[in-house]
Structure formats: C-alpha cells, structure tokens
Structure 1
Amino acid sequence: MRPRLRPTTIALLCALPLLAAGIAAAVSAVSSAAAPPSPAAPARQAVAGAAPIARPVLLTGEIEALDTQTIVVPPSMSAPVVLRNFVAEGTPVKAGDLVLRIETSGGANIDRMKIELQRAIARTQREVANLEAGAIDTEKALISAEAALAKAKVDAALPKLQITPLNYDRYQAELDRATRDLAIKRETRDNYLRSVDRRREDGELEMKKMQINLAFQIAQLKQSEVRAERDGVVVHGYSPWKGERFEEGASAWPGNAAGVVQGQGQMAASAWVLEADRPYLSEGQDLSLRFDALPGAALTGKIQSITSAPEARASWGRGRYFRVRIGLPEGHGLPLVAGMSVFAEPRTAAAAVRPPPPSVQLLAIEGEIASRQALPVSPPSIPYVWQYKLASIPPEGTLVQAGQPIAQFEAGEVTTQLMQQQGQLNEKRRALEKLLLDQAEADRAGELAVAEAQSNAEKSERKASQPKELIRRVDYDKLVIERTEKTALAKLAVQQRAAQIRARHAERADLESEVADLQLQQAALAKGQAALTVIAPRKGLLMYRSNFSGEKFSVGSQVFMGLSVATLADPEQLYINAAVPEAQASSVHVGQQARVTVPGANQALNAHVVALGRAFHGKSTAQSTIVRNVELQFDGTPAGLKPGAAVQAVLVVDAGGKERSR
C-alpha cells in the first residue's frame, strides 16, 4: 500500500531536481572561476539562462461526490446528545425522509411552557378583572359624588332670604365641597381606567413574549431532526474524539458530522497544493490522475477552480495550502468511490502510467466481531439532572435475559427534588381547596350585593313616583336625583359582580395550572427515577463502552447525561467489521471467501464478504491510512464468540476480483 503523501513531502520531492541543478551550477561557477575564461563561456551562459529547468508539481487529494449532504448533529441546549432514529448505513433514502433525531428534553419544556402560558393568561385576566372591579368602585363613587353635587346645587339654589343665614352658609359650603369631591372622584376614576389599560397592555406583551419563547422551543424541537435533502444512500461518519463510528444510540456533540447522504451523481476530485507551488497551476490546466485503490488506472482531469486564499491544515504540518477542484471526464467508466485517494500532476510533466502491482493470492485483513443489533445502555434524560453515578452493572460479557436489570444509576438530586415537589404539590392542593371555599362565599356575597343594589333602586323608584304636588319641590328634586343614582349603582353592581366572577375564575385557573405544572414535573421525575434501573428489552451480551479518557465504565463511575456506558449486543446476529487498505481494496469483492481466525481462541471459521463500505475514510484519528470498510458474514452459526473480539481474516484473491469490486 502506498500511503497518501503530505503536500510538504511532495514539495520537497519536487525541489530535489532544482537542488541538484543548483549544486551543479555552483560547481560549474567555481570551476569557471578557477580556470581561465574562454571565448565560448558567455555563449554557454546565455544559452543556460534562456532554458530554465521546469519544476514538477505534485498534488494529493481525494474523490468527492458533488451531490452529498452532510448530516450535522442538530444544536441542543445540552451536550453531548444521544443519536436516535439514525438510519442504518447503506440505507437508501428519499428527499424528506428522516435520517437522524437527537434525544432532547424539548417536549417536556414545551408542555411546561404551555402551562406557564396558561398561567400567565389566567394571572393577567385575574389582575385585569380585579382592576375593572376596582374601576367600577370608583365609578360608583363618581356617581354618588355627582348625585351629592346635584343635591347640593338644589339646596344652594334656595334664596338667601327664605332660609336662615346658617343654613345658607352650610349649603354653599356643601356645594363647594361636593364640587371638589367630584373632581377628585373623576380623577381617581380616570387613573384607575388608565391602570386597567396599562395592565392589559403589559399582559399582552408578557403573553406575546411567552408565545415567542414557545414558538422558539417548538422550532428547536423541530430542528432536532435531520431530513434528507436529496435522494441518496446514508453513510455513517466517525467520532472526532473517540474514533468510533456513529451508530444508533451513540453520543455526539452538536455540530459533529454524523455522516452524509451520498448521492449517485457526478464525482469530482479535490486536491491541495502547497503555497509555494501555486504559481505553477492555473484554471483549465490538464492534470494526470492516478488512484491508489485502482492500480494501473489513470484519468485526465481539468482544474476547475483554485481558492483565492490559502489556509492552514494542522494535520499536514505548518504549511498553507490552496484547495484545487478538479473536474473528471464524462463517461470515464472507473468505479470511483467517495474518499478515494488521488495523486495528480500536470499533464506536461506526467510520468507514464505505472503498471499495477503484482497480484497476490491471499489478502490478510484485521477486524472485530460486531452485532447487527446493539442497544445502548445509558442513564435516562431527567430535566435539570446532568450527572449520574453507575451504581451496579453485571460483568462484561454477561448473557442478559429479557426483563433482567442490566444497569442501576443513582442521582441524589432526583429524590430531593421529588420530595420538595411533593410537598409543594400538597400545599397547592390545600390552597386550591381553601380557595374554592372562599370563592363560594364570595359568590354569595356578590349575589347579596347585587340584590341590595336592585332593592335600593326599586325603593328610590317608588319614592320618586309620588305625586309632585304632595311634597316639597326641593325634596322631590332630591328624590329624582337619588332615583337616577340608585339605578346607575344597580347596573354597576351587576357589572362588578361579573368582573369579580371573572377574577375568581382566573385565580382558580392560575392555581389549577400551577398544580398541573407541579404534577407534570413530579411525573417527569418519577418516570426518570423509575428509568434509573435499566431493564433489558431482549436477550443479549453486555459489552462495556469507554469514557472520554479511553477507560471502560465500571461501578462507581460518574456518567454525564447522554453517554452510553455499555451496549446490549444480539449474540445471534454477529458479523465481522473489518477494514482493507486502499491500495488493496481492488482485490476485495462481494461474495469473496475468507478464513477467519480468532487469536487466543484457537478457532478458525469460514466467512464471506457481504458488503463493502460506501466511502473510503481515515482509519482513525491516530492513523491517517485510508481504508475501506468490509463486512463479512459467517457461513455457519459461530459459537463462543463475543462482540468486540479482534479477528484476522484471510481472503482468497481471484483474477476476477478487480472487476467485481465495484
């Protein structure tokens, strides 16, 4: 296998001819200085200056699918997150299909925010209704003040000569007082009405803010899903901090590339050129392309674009590189796969196509046993609980039966919060019972107040219906004024009772929403507390997973939310997940026979290749070797094998393997 060369190494190789030419020129100059000059020397120097040495430029890159959609882990308010509904690798999907969803607590937050919105609406309605009831009180006081002023005007209109001076002064003083009192009552009524309008506007703003937050949470919950933007095949990616492949139930950080939806359309090549080699390339220039995975095959590509600014690539050293997009000829007929290594050089300086390496009869690759159904074992997602303790777990490799506990987690905060919320819930329930009794008494008091106001209105009506000729004019005018006052007060009493009823209903709805909120929180905590004991949904082998430090989880380990401590693998659906180096990938094809040996078990089994990876990729973060995944299926049912065990497979290479590797 020929490893992919770094551009810095390529640049050094390219500079060797120039270095040799410079050394030769320096030796020639020293020789010329030591020897006497000849008449032909200037002519040779002129010829040498007119024919500079051409500098070869070598590029390395990879094949890319132009119609590829990157599956990015959605944003989340917590990290890491658990990947759910992740479509299996190699599954064809259509545009709009769900390919990935992350586990989030957005649903519980949305339910809680809806309850808080209902509480805010009820609280606003209660306060506005109370203010309206208070405004009606000020309206009553204003009507009484207007009636008092009207009566004072009747008394003050009496001639001074017909009454005693004392009564006259008293009537005039009462008129002045009633006038001032009316102005005060009118100002109080206006202030109360403005306060009602302000509280109603504040409530509308508060509800609008909560509705925006609720819409944001709903949108964020919708963003927790990734759907295919085009037709293609799902290819899983690799974790940048663990080097493991992302699978269903794996942990990832928001923003990680969990995989791609690889289309079946046009391919292109992307390469990187060292900053010092950029002047020797131009758009439209022909390049000769060779591929490590296809020995002996070559194509002629054309530079389509070169980035305008270089960028650093830490994995390749301290150099800066330009990205070159290379177009491939149509109908080339080569079985190109995304991720293949590409070696390119300008067409004018291209060397002859290298013959393919001699074929081998046996190909040895390494891999490990895996299960096609592996369920993650992780702590539950409980709101506002971020860290758990692994209290108990069976030994690794234990065959767990369905319904058997496989892990026990502890979180002291859950019990504490559950007790606190239970106490708050009991308190709110008692407050609700007391409120219902108080409101029933208030309803009866309101009915009595309305009945009293209507009775006063009827009494004043009867008094004012007396014959005008039988009573004094002053007394009759006062009875008419009082009738108008009592009738208006009776109408306001009915309106006030309705406002008070609305206020009591809103107060009861607010308290009931608070009780429902506490019940929802308590139910979520109770569900999370029950889920602290993980029950096996089916039979399987328990295999431990590693933490951030590369150590396997054990009893007493602190587990952050979203992390899986183990997997439950199905022992009846085992296969071999292996990787073949890129230079030898052309020798592997579906259906190829293999002999699998398990080191340390003195066991050899027959298997065959059932699938090839949809893309080439780096072996791991520590090894940049380009490999292609190979899946092998056992010919029979193996016994005594466990997922995670390392194996070695020897494949028999035949003459037709290269054609069938597509």
Structure 2
Amino acid sequence: MRLLKNSALNLSLCALLLTGCTDPAQTQPLLTVSQGELEHRISAEGELFAVNSVSINAPQNTRGPRFIAELAPEYSSIAPGDLVIRFDATQLERSRRDAGNSLAAVLSDQQFKGTQQAAELANIGLDQRLVQQEFAFADRFSIDDIQIRSRLEILDSLQNKEFLGEKQAYLNWQQQSFAARSQGELDLLQLQKGQQQSLLEQAETGLSALEIRAPHSGILLYDSNWRGEKPEVGRMVFPGEKLGSIPDLSLQHLKLQIIEQEAVGLAVEQPVSFRLTAQPEQVLQGKIVSVGQVAQSRERRDPRRYIEVIVAPDSQQSFFLPGAKVRADILANRLTQVLTVPLQAVFSDEQGQYVWKQQGTSLTRQDVSLGAKSLTHAEITAGLKAGDRISLLAPEN
C-alpha cells in the first residue's frame, strides 16, 4: 500500500515537471495570417425627415402670450391654404380698445395743453406790449429840469423807468422760460402719443394675423414643449414659439445617429442599406450625403456621443413618413486580398504597434504597420506575411 502511494506521488511530480517544461508557444492560442477580405460595416438607427419643411410659429409681432382657439388634427393631410391654427382674438381686441382710449386721451391732453400754452403766451405778450408803452410814455414825458419839477419828482420818474426796464427783462426771461417748458411738455405728449400708436398698430397687426394657413400640401406635425405637451385648444403660446411643421413629403432623407467610437471611415457617397421598422421585409438603398463634424450627446444620462449622418435614399417611396424609425447598415470600407488580423492580437506601447509572432518554439515581438480597420480586424501593411503565426494573447496572459 505504501509502495502504491509513493508511485502515485512520483507520477504527480513528473507531470508537474513536464508541464513546466512545455513550450509556451504551444499553450498560446495561435492564428495563421492569411490574405482575405476586410469589410467594415456600421450598424445605426435613425428616422426619416423631410428635407423641405415649413415651421409653424406663433406670430412674433404681438405683445404677450396668445391662446389657441382652433387647430387642425395632427398627422392630417392638408392642402395649400387650409387652416392650421386660429388664435383667440379677445386679448388683442382688448389691447386695441385700451390703446385707442389711451391715444384719444393723449390727443385731448395735447390739444388742451396747446390751448393753455397759447393763452399763457398771449398774456405774456400783452404784458410786454403794456410795459413797452409805459416805458415809451415815461421816456417821452420825462423832464429833468429842476426849475420845472422837484428833485423828488425827478427821482421818482427815474425809478419808474428803471422798474419798467427790469419788468421788461423779467417778461423776456419769462417768455424764453415758457418756450422751453412748453416744448418739453409737448415733446412728452408726443412721445406718449407715439407709444399708444405703436400699441394700437401692434394690436391691429395681431388681429390681422389670427390665422396660420398651410403654404403647401403635406402632413401636419406638432412639436412638444419642454413638458412633452403638444398644442391644443386653450393652450397659451408665446410670440415666436415653434408649434410644429408642415414637411414636404416629396423629398425625405434619413438621419442616423452613430456612436463616435464606431464612426470610423465614414465618408460621403458610401452605400447604405436600410429597413423601415414598420416594414422590415423591404430592404432599401441609399448613399451618405453628409457626415457631422462634431459628436454630440443625445441624452443627459447617456455618456456616449453620437455623430449625425444624413443619407439620401435612391428612390422616394409612397410609405415614407417623417419620423418613421429605420435601421441602417453602412458599408464604410471593403478591401480584398489583404493581410488581416484580429484587433485583439495587436498591442501597442510608446514604441508603436506590434504582435507576438511565433519564431520556432517561442514568441517574439514583431512591430507592424496597420492600414484600414473594421470593428474587429485591421489590415497589416508591413511587418507580417502570409503564413506567419501570431498569438491572440500576450505571453504573460
């Protein structure tokens, strides 16, 4: 029994020794490099949108919010001239009435002030003429001979002339002061008149723009506000607020969102195949017409950034509708008869990119140059040849 235990122990030790002496290149997962096809396809999701679309906005030439009184149903087909939205006129009529009353009051004040100023100016003119007459009379009949008049009478006459001169100067100053003051009052009334006229014109302009009508045929789409609410009767809207759009259904494109890390090699004119989610059995074709230059976040809680790609279908279909969801497949690149290796077999450090190549019974570092890439493979332009064997993992792994 003891002999059997010793034999088992010896066998275990031999197995451990043999395992430790096994060639590392034989225990690593190896791949033979060969020529083949490198195809880079990118999957994306998006939706259809109308290239030509007319926005529906609340009129901007009004003060304050407005209320919807009538609107056409969403997704309804409309023809040129059809009513889309009608706004309530109660507030605008009240504004026009108030502005008209205020303007009439200002005109009345302006007329009263003009009459009052004319009367006051006439009184000043009468006083000036009276002083001039008194001054001329005093100057004409002034006698300075002490043999005819006493000294007190002469002094009194001189004081009377001096008083008349001062009074005339005062009246001249009063006339100039009145002119400046009256002009300021008239300017203020004119400013108030302009303000009320502007309010009246705004109200009349708003009353003339109570209706929004379709400029061309299409389908009616409404936009949601920040609370997710779409326009409805009684809702308050603000000047210039976008309420919806009327897309032109004759020309529609695809708007795709692609994760920034996957949007490698995208370019204009690349072929795209896509399916509508509502009709997955039909495969349609198109081409890229534009690729976004800046990646943007789509949702606040989503850390990923997306590149926007616009695709033009090869043909317009009758079942195309703006907002319809699509799934697309983009052929970004296709190369034939090139050396390709999996990306997991390519490593990099500060010296460059390399692979672990089998040399006899060991693995050695081999620097390589990469060309085109897909999501899983890369083209080898230098450093390897067909038939070479490389490791899919680093030796330490």
Please list the CA deviations of residues 114-153 of structure 1 after superposition, one character each: whole Å capped at 9, or x if unmatched.
Answer: 1101111211221232122112111111111111111110
In the alignment, which residue of structure 2 is the partner of 1:287? 272
In the alignment, which residue of structure 2 is the partner of 1:35? 23
- The one-letter code sitting in structure 2 at the alignment partner of 1:235 is L
Change (3 A) 1:244 1:349: same
- The one-letter code sitting in structure 1 at the alignment partner of 2:136 is A
Equivalent pair of 2:249/2:321 in contact (CA under 8 Å): no
Please list the CA deviations of residues 153-198 of structure 1 after superposition, one character each: whole Å capped at 9, or x if unmatched.
Answer: 0122564443333322222221122112111122112211222222
Identity of aligned residues (%): 17
Greater share of residues in strand: 2
* Alignment of 1:183 onto 2:169: yes
- The one-letter code sitting in structure 1 at the alignment partner of 2:256 is A
Change (3 A) 1:341 1:205: same
For 1:180 and 1:316, how far apart are their aligned partners in 2? Answer: 85
* Alignment of 1:335 onto 2:319: yes
Secondary structure of 1:314's aligned partner: coil
Aligned partner of 1:141 among 101, 116, 127: 127
Aligned partner of 2:46 among 61, 83, 101: 61
* Alignment of 1:278 onto 2:254: no
Secondary structure of 1:58's aligned partner: strand
For 2:112 and 2:217, how far apart are their aligned partners in 1? Answer: 56
- The one-letter code sitting in structure 2 at the alignment partner of 1:171 is S
For 2:112 and 2:276, how far apart are their aligned partners in 1? Answer: 75
Equivalent pair of 1:128/1:199 in contact (CA under 8 Å): no
| Structure-to-structure mapping, 1:121-520, within 5 angstroms | 121-157=107-143, 159-221=145-207, 225-228=211-214, 230-237=215-222, 246=231, 249=233, 251=235, 253-254=237-238, 258-314=243-299, 317-330=302-315, 333=317, 335-347=319-331
Secondary structure of 1:128's aligned partner: helix
- The one-letter code sitting in structure 2 at the alignment partner of 1:148 is E
Equivalent pair of 1:310/1:323 in contact (CA under 8 Å): yes
Please list the CA deviations of residues 435-482 of structure 1 after superposition, one character each: whole Å capped at 9, or x if unmatched.
Answer: xxxxxxxxxxxxxxxxxxxxxxxxxxxxxxxxxxxxxxxxxxxxxxxx
Query: 1:327: Cα distance to partner?
Result: 0.9
For 1:252 and 1:315, how far apart are their aligned partners in 2? Answer: 28
Equivalent pair of 1:149/1:182 in contact (CA under 8 Å): no
Q: TM-score, normalization: structure 2?
A: 0.66
Query: 1:219: Cα distance to partner?
Result: 4.2
Change (3 A) 1:257 1:187: closer
In the alignment, which residue of structure 2 is the partner of 1:108? 94
Greater RCO (Cα-Cα under 8 Å, separation 6 or more): 2
Change (3 A) 1:173 1:72: closer
- The one-letter code sitting in structure 2 at the alignment partner of 1:281 is L
Change (3 A) 1:296 1:70: same
Secondary structure of 1:287's aligned partner: strand
Equivalent pair of 2:68/2:86 in contact (CA under 8 Å): yes
Equivalent pair of 2:84/2:212 in contact (CA under 8 Å): yes
| Unaligned ranges ≥5, structure 1 | 1-32, 351-662
Relative to structure 2, which stretch is displaced further, 333-342 or 294-303? Answer: 333-342
| Structure-to-structure mapping, 1:597-636, within 5 angstroms | none
Secondary structure of 2:54's aligned partner: strand
Please list the CA deviations of residues 53-107 of structure 1 after superposition, one character each: whole Å capped at 9, or x if unmatched.
Answer: 755321111111222223234567666x642232345353326x54212225122
- The one-letter code sitting in structure 1 at the alignment partner of 2:270 is Q
- The one-letter code sitting in structure 1 at the alignment partner of 2:124 is T
Equivalent pair of 2:41/2:331 in contact (CA under 8 Å): no
Q: TM-score, normalization: structure 1?
A: 0.41
Change (3 A) 1:250 1:148: closer
Equivalent pair of 2:96/2:199 in contact (CA under 8 Å): no
Secondary structure of 2:115's aligned partner: helix
For 1:193 and 1:244, how far apart are their aligned partners in 2? Answer: 60
Change (3 A) 1:36 1:275: closer
Equivalent pair of 1:291/1:340 in contact (CA under 8 Å): yes
Secondary structure of 2:281's aligned partner: coil
Equivalent pair of 1:278/1:322 in contact (CA under 8 Å): yes
- The one-letter code sitting in structure 1 at the alignment partner of 2:43 is L
Please list the CA deviations of residues 483-538 of structure 1 after superposition, one character each: whole Å capped at 9, or x if unmatched.
Answer: xxxxxxxxxxxxxxxxxxxxxxxxxxxxxxxxxxxxxxxxxxxxxxxxxxxxxxxx
Please list the CA deviations of residues 271-308 of structure 1 after superposition, one character each: whole Å capped at 9, or x if unmatched.
Answer: 11112223332222211111122232222211111222
For 2:234 and 2:23, how far apart are their aligned partners in 1? Answer: 76
| Structure-to-structure mapping, 1:485-564, within 5 angstroms | none
Change (3 A) 1:224 1:274: farther
Secondary structure of 1:57's aligned partner: strand
Change (3 A) 1:93 1:85: farther
For 2:155 and 2:64, how far apart are their aligned partners in 1? Answer: 80
* Alignment of 1:92 onto 2:78: yes
Secondary structure of 1:284's aligned partner: coil
Q: How many residues align?
A: 309
For 1:246 and 1:172, how far apart are their aligned partners in 2? Answer: 88
- The one-letter code sitting in structure 2 at the alignment partner of 1:106 is L
Relative to structure 2, which stretch is displaced further, 164-173 or 136-145? Answer: 164-173
Query: 1:335: Cα distance to partner?
Result: 2.9
For 2:162 and 2:228, how far apart are their aligned partners in 1? Answer: 92
Please list the CA deviations of residues 561-612 of structure 1 after superposition, one character each: whole Å capped at 9, or x if unmatched.
Answer: xxxxxxxxxxxxxxxxxxxxxxxxxxxxxxxxxxxxxxxxxxxxxxxxxxxx
Secondary structure of 1:297's aligned partner: strand
